[in-house]
Amino acid sequence: MTAQVVHHERLAWDAARAFICATESDQVFGWLREQVERHFDRRLAEALYESRHRLWARHRLDVVDVERGRWRAKLEDLVIADRSRALPLQQLIAETSARLAQATDIRAHGQPRRADGPHTIDLDRPSDRLW
């Protein structure tokens, strides 16, 4: 039987990059936020939403790097505190990357969506998903 060695720093960095990329897509972000809450906890899912808000508000030029760094530190601490979370995090990175590859609404932080026709606003939809 072989044991898998997890490089926590690399795992946290890869996850941070995937999480920040996911904030560029409404399609992927909603799904990711639900998965983070399901596999980890509600506070971490709320922190993901707060990061997205800071990224889109873009009060700093280096906001993307700052948020990646925050998430790298959070996720590294998470995996070090409980090594059983490494596998779900690896799976979440893979699924997030696959979903991002299929997403049709990716846009750069701070840039509005392209207007490709009339849009309807659903007032019954949670406000954290409206942009």
Cβ burial of 84 (10 Å; 0-12, 13-18, 19+) is exposed
What is the phi/psi pair of residue 8, to 5°? -60, -40
Summarize pLDDT for 48-71 with one digit per residue, the tens: 999 999 998 877 888 999 999 999
The model's pTM: 0.77
> Model confidence over 94-122: pLDDT tens digits?
999 999 999 888 876 655 444 455 555 55
Closest Cα to residue 48, out of 9, 75, 88? 75
- What pLDDT is stored for residue 131 in this prediction? 41
Greatest Cα pair distance, the chain, in angstroms, is 58
